[in-house]
Structure 1
Amino acid sequence: MEKSTVYFTDFRCPVGTSQLDKLKKLCVAAGIKDIDMDGKFVAIKMHFGELGNMAFLRPNYARVVADLCKEQGGMPFLTDCNTLYPGSRKNALEHLDCANLNGFNTITTGCQIIIGDGVRGTDEVEVPVVNGEYCKTALIGHAIMDADIFISLSHFKGHEATGFGGALKNIGMGCGSRAGKMQQHASGKPAIHEDVCRGCRRCAKECGSDAITYVNKKAVIDYDKCKGCGRCIGACSYDAVYNPNSSANELLDRKMAEYAQAVCHGRPHFHIALVQDISPNCDCHGENDAPILPDIGMFASFDPVALDQACADACLKATPIANSQLGEHLAEPGWHCHHDHFKDSNPNIEWKATLDQAEKIGLGIREYDLKIIK
């Protein structure tokens, strides 16, 4: 099979140029202008960052991509789906407030922002997974599937559950509706923090399975009726409903790859990853620990699998930063070194399964040629 091409540029900027100039040049070299965008909706999927986190991509980068789309006659919008866990992005109103507070708005990005799965995280489309082994269909945010063209703009960093968060995680987990996220997280079912529950009955009203009743003014879930859709999580304003089944294992990685296939299949797609501020954990955290590796550069490709592989390879070749989670682990007496920066940072992960499954089902290939753009 022919190798995919991945384009790369570092963060060095001579006087008179900027990283934004380099990002535009990278995207053009990688072929973004080969996509027919004239009069078409373009979904640009990215992460707006949790409140308190400072490692997420700046909105300036999104502006570069949006402007390129508009130059080609496209109608771009930035998008992400609501979160499964409690936080500042669990419904569309809070999500948009969070995005705005983190600097994402129509002025800074040059385009609209649409939360892909609607107000409560329930506006979804059931999409077939071509060659799917673990998920025959995927529940994807409706607005994302309405787009004619899909672009992922990812912050490549470490991740406590999947080893790293790159294009495939940004697409697969990020585009899943709340029920889609539940399906990926081992098809778990929600639970109740009784000490937080106020007995307001909002979760019961939202439940489509009549699975929630109340005992002593506290919500109780009938698991024989519960379908694990997660709608109750979005309904609760007090974070009393949560998902206890999140698992950092190979099954999660493989389901996530299959969800990415569902999002990309059958329409033009293009992928960009910035490997900088490489925090050990996801931007979904309300904080970010010190980076585990130095900033590396920007990557772009039509193949998200090759893109993630190239980013991972570059990280594995980098020198760990001593004053970081990774550096401290490696310095511990008797530490069993995995010779894998992601696994030495978060030992319980199996990141290679994501790339393996994505390649197996035909989303892309892991072998690539790297072209350097100055």
Structure 2
Amino acid sequence: MASKVFFTDMRTKPGINMYDKLNRLIKKAGIEEIEMQDKLVALKIHFGEPGNLAYLRPNYAAAVVKKIKKMGGKPFLTDCNTLYYGRRANAVDHLEAAMENGFNRIAVGCDVVIADGLTGGDATEIPLDFDLVKSAKIGSAIADSDIVISLNHFKGHEQTGFGGALKNIGMGCGSRKGKMEMHSSSKPKIKEENCVSCGMCIRKCPQKAIAYNENLNAQIDYNKCIGCGQCVASCHYGAATAIYDQAAELLNKKIAEYAFAVLKDKPHFHINFMMNISPDCDCWDSNDQAIAPDLGIAASFDPVALDHACVDLVNAVPGVKSSRLYEKGDYKEGEDKFVHVHPDVHWRDCLGHAEEIHLGTLDYKLIQVN
């Protein structure tokens, strides 16, 4: 049976703004069906690496917080620390980054909790016994919550094709040990014939795992590489690429299994914001030109159907001519934008596996909310 996905576009008029449209959307999608009285509600969000301006605006989070409080819930915004070193690798820096980007009690109406503690070690193991993940290591604050609601900036991603609900929930809720488990089988490679020796991947590698070889081409030390994909996102010459083999497929399938663990036995609801649809993740301290125009907001109880619907919505509109999509001159209208930008990864691996493990369905019915 197809899952219902509710969608509202960006068109507004006097007396009806985007706050109003968001509230109408989540009400129509059924958020009020969740019993929230005195429940701890984890709002899973990506706070954005400072310097990146494509991340989800805190104004939207504030509107959802207000709705949950009105329903009697006790919301908190949350994310887990990053695997790589940056401004979100420990709770102190992470909270400062969130504050800098506008996620604080004054702006959004609730507190920010870093789910896996000070250094990423505060985790709860959720038994799964799947083929790939036997026990998922989830940030304890998320695991201990009563309800999970994901607020997802829908955009491209260098290791999963796009980042939506499943990526935000699966990879985002993993503790540092959990992230390492997901990334353990996924390592990038360097195509020496494409390397221009710009040094960007060397500067951006958090593990100092890349250096020049005797030919002055970048070379990866796999004893140090953690598979975070930062080199892939920083290289605009096609030299650092994800390896599309069993390893890349396993990463995406593990993300689906981790998402299953996060949502297991809990009420959950998901909202995708198709705005500032950048080609890469919000983990970067900059954001490239959006590859598609702002489209709107979609919501569903089914994260698989939601992500699939959003892919189709993005692919149904013309691309942004000044974006990376067109820089090589070989993009054809109607082509899958996310596959074109990241041809070495396949987003269907994650969504397809999520359907196989009964996290949701790829079949959806799109319902317009004005």
Q: Same fold (TM over 0.5)?
A: yes
In the TM superposition, what are the counterparts of 1:23-172 in structure 2 within 5 Å? 23-129=22-128, 132-172=130-170
Measure how far apart 1:337 and its partner are. 9.2
2: CA distance, partners of 1:244 / 1:151? 28
State the AA in 2 paired with 1:243: I
State the AA in 2 paired with 1:60: N
Question: What does residue 354 of structure 1 align with?
Answer: 350
1: CA distance, partners of 2:265 / 2:72? 21
- SS, match of residue 327 in structure 2: helix
On the 8 A contact 1:338/1:344 being kept in 2, the answer is: no
1: CA distance, partners of 2:225 / 2:185? 14
On the 8 A contact 2:9/2:296 being kept in 1, the answer is: yes
On the 8 A contact 2:4/2:365 being kept in 1, the answer is: yes
- SS, match of residue 277 in structure 1: coil
- SS, match of residue 21 in structure 1: helix
Percent of pairs with identical residues: 50
- SS, match of residue 173 in structure 2: coil
In the TM superposition, what are the counterparts of 1:280-319 in structure 2 within 5 Å? 280-319=279-318
On the 8 A contact 1:53/1:285 being kept in 2, the answer is: yes
- SS, match of residue 43 in structure 1: strand
State the AA in 1 paired with 2:135: T
1: CA distance, partners of 2:209 / 2:271? 43
State the AA in 2 paired with 1:174: G
On the 8 A contact 2:292/2:318 being kept in 1, the answer is: yes
Structure 1 pair 340/31, CA: closer, same or farther in 2 (3 Å)? same
| Per-residue deviation, residues 147-182 of structure 1 (Å, max 9, x unmatched) | 000000000001111100000000000000001000
Structure 1 pair 326/173, CA: closer, same or farther in 2 (3 Å)? same
Structure 1 pair 22/322, CA: closer, same or farther in 2 (3 Å)? same
On the 8 A contact 1:55/1:279 being kept in 2, the answer is: yes
How many residue pairs get aligned? The number is 326
Question: What does residue 226 of structure 2 align with?
Answer: 243
On the 8 A contact 1:191/1:244 being kept in 2, the answer is: no
Structure 1 pair 104/242, CA: closer, same or farther in 2 (3 Å)? farther
Structure 1 pair 337/373, CA: closer, same or farther in 2 (3 Å)? closer
Is 1:341 matched up with 2:324? no
On the 8 A contact 2:318/2:333 being kept in 1, the answer is: no
Question: What does residue 181 of structure 1 align with?
Answer: 179
2: CA distance, partners of 1:194 / 1:146? 36
2: CA distance, partners of 1:83 / 1:187? 17
Structure 2: gaps spanning 5 or more residues: 188-204, 211-222, 230-241
| Per-residue deviation, residues 45-96 of structure 1 (Å, max 9, x unmatched) | 0000001100001101001111111111100000000001111100000000
Question: What does residue 200 of structure 1 align with?
Answer: none
1: CA distance, partners of 2:131 / 2:63? 37
Length-normalised TM-score, structure 1: 0.83
Query: Which of the numbers 352, 362, 365 marks the counterpart of 1:366?
Result: 362
Structure 1 pair 245/51, CA: closer, same or farther in 2 (3 Å)? closer
2: CA distance, partners of 1:55 / 1:104? 14
Question: What does residue 9 of structure 1 align with?
Answer: 8
